[in-house]
Amino acid sequence: ETVMTQSPATLSVSPGERATLSCRASQSVSSNLAWYQLKPGQAPRLLIYGASTRATGIPARFSGSGSGTEFTLTISSLQSEDFAVYYCQQYNNWPQTFGQGTKVEIK
Amino acid sequence: QVQLVQSGPEVKKPGASVKVSCKASGYTFTDFYIHWVRQAPGQGLEWMGWINPNSGGTNFAQRFQGRVTVTRDTSISTAYMELSRLTSDDTAVYYCARFHGDYGLGWFDPWGQGTLVTVSS
C-alpha cells in the first residue's frame, strides 16, 4: 500500500505566522490528495482535495500544492482556531491511506 | 445542512462485538457511499471500508475482512458498523464519512463526530 509520510510531526508557530506542512507519498498519487483538520472531540474537517482545491467554506489562508509524491499544505497566517492536527490522505492507489499527522501548536 | 451524527461511546470486553450507528441528514442518503475510518490513541487515521447505501454492497480493508459488518437502514438514513471479536487494539475513535469519488477512491466530507470504543476487561 502507499505509505504517506508527514513532516514535521509537530510544528510550533506563533499566531499570525505562516505554517508549512509536508506530505510525501511512497509512490506517485498524481493529484489525488486531500488534507483534513482534526480537533479533539470534533468531526474531522475536509480542507483540500485534488491536492489544491479548497473545500466549500474553507478560508483562503489554507492552500495546497504539489503532485506526484510531494505535497504541501500552507496556512498563510495562523489564527487561534487553526491549532489542530492535520492529516493528508491519498486516494489514487488502493487502499486509500492517511499520513500520521502534523500537530500545529502554539509557540 | 449535510450532517452525520454517530451513536455514543461504548465500553466492551475483549471478545465482544460493538455496533456503531451513523445517521445522515441534509441529503439523499442513497446518493453517496458511507466509509468508516478509525483512529487509535496516539495513532493516525485508518480506513476500514465502505457501504453503498443504495445497493447495500460493501468492501473492506483486508485486515478487517471477516470481522466487520456494515449495514444500512434506508428508511431512517442510517448506516451501521459492527466489529466483532474485539481486542484492546480495537480501542479507537470510529468515524463515518460521506464519500466523494469513484471505485472506492476519493475524499470524505463531511465526517461524523466520532464514536469512542473502549475495549477493556
* Closest chain A residue to the Cα of B93, Cα to Cα: A41
- Shortest alpha-carbon distance between residue B115 and chain A (Å): 10
Q: Is the dihedral of CA A57, A32, A75, A80 positive or negative?
A: positive
Contact A49 B97 (CB under 8 A): no
pLDDT of res. B105: 85
pLDDT of res. B81: 98
Task: Give the pLDDT band of residue B12 (cuts 50, 70, 90).
Answer: very high
Place of cell 498563510: A76
Task: Give the pLDDT band of residue B104 (cuts 50, 70, 90).
Answer: confident
* Closest chain A residue to the Cα of B44, Cα to Cα: A100
Burial label, A98 (beta-carbon count in 10 A; 0-12, 13-18, 19+): buried
Lowest-confidence pick of B43-47, B72-76, B86-90, B111-115? B43-47
Query: What mean pLDDT comes out for the span B22-40?
Result: 96
pLDDT of res. A41: 86
- Shortest alpha-carbon distance between residue B110 and chain A (Å): 7
pLDDT of A107 over the 90 cut: no
* Residues in contact with A71: Cβ distance below 8 Å, sequence separation at least 6, in sequence order: A22, A23, A24, A25, A33, A51, A64, A65, A88
- Shortest alpha-carbon distance between residue A14 and chain B (Å): 24
- Shortest alpha-carbon distance between residue B121 and chain A (Å): 25
pLDDT of res. A67: 97
Query: What mean pLDDT comes out for the span B6-33?
Result: 97
Contact B107 A46 (CB under 8 A): yes
Q: Is A43 helix (H, G, I), strand (E, B) or coil?
A: coil
* Closest chain A residue to the Cα of B112, Cα to Cα: A43
Q: Which of B80, B90, B68, B77 is nearest to B31 (CA)?
A: B77
pLDDT digits (tens, 9 = 90+) for A83-94: 999 999 999 999
pLDDT of B103 over the 80 cut: no
Contacts B9 to A, Cβ<8 Å: none
Contact B107 A34 (CB under 8 A): yes
Q: Is B49 on the interface with A (CB under 8 A)?
A: no
pLDDT of res. B102: 80
pLDDT digits (tens, 9 = 90+) for A33-79: 999 999 988 999 999 999 999 999 999 999 999 999 999 999 999 99
Contact A46 B110 (CB under 8 A): yes
Contact B112 A43 (CB under 8 A): yes
Count A/B contacts: CB-CB distance under 8 Å: 61
Interface of B with A in 98-117 (CB under 8 A): 100-101, 104-114
